[in-house]
Amino acid sequence: MEKRHKVDLTPLRNLFEKENRMAFWPRIEKALAHWVKVARTGKLPLVPDKKIDAVAYAVAVAKATGRPVEKVVFVSRKHPFPKPEWMTENVYRASLVDSLGASLGDSLWDSLWDSLRDSLFYTCGFALAGDEKQFKVCLDLLKVQKQALGIGFKKDKPETFLAICA
């Protein structure tokens, strides 16, 4: 990753002041602190799958998406994408070589950052709207995303969610 960015939360804080939502600001600032550090340092400290509470992750994703999550599969270099049941072992291995190459690298990270940006946007949006219930749902999602960034639901198993971990 290693891209560093300057981050200034002043305009966002000013918006919360203008909209008379400063009661939410301490929780917004706390929720954003991790992601501000990631942006400033260019380092994304993900957690190994064995240290992640998969049940809490599944609950947070289900509440945020409104979709059932029966299982969360954490993928990493050590544990790549799971092989679909219909795929032969040879095709699976070949697809891993192709998909984990440079061609997928940028598009995958772009997709992950788009998803994270959306989570941050909705968290701030629900706070500005004064929607405490949805704001809490977003906070829970951001909390689990600190450990593993969500990729999305599997197409062949729509109740299985994939997330990238260390």
Within-domain flag for 152:
yes
Any domain includes 28: no
pLDDT band at 102 (very low <50, low <70, confident <90, very high): very low
What is the token pair recorded at 1?
Answer: 């990753």
Establish if 74 belongs to a structural domain.
yes
- Domain of residue 115 covers 46-122+131-164
Stated pTM of the model: 0.80
Q: pLDDT at position 2, please?
A: 59
Q: How many domains does the structure of the chain reveal?
A: 1
Residue 76 lies in a domain: yes
* Structure confidence at residue 84 (pLDDT): 67
| Residue 110: inside a domain | yes
pLDDT in tens, 35-91: 999 989 988 899 999 999 999 999 999 999 999 999 999 988 776 666 667 767 666
Flag whether 67 is in a domain.
yes
What confidence tens digit (pLDDT) does each residue in 103-157 have?
445 566 677 778 888 999 999 999 999 999 999 999 999 999 999 999 889 888 8
pLDDT of residue 54: 97
Q: Is residue 6 part of a domain?
A: no
For the record, the structure tokens of 155 come out as 């197409």
- Determine, yes or no, domain membership for 3: no
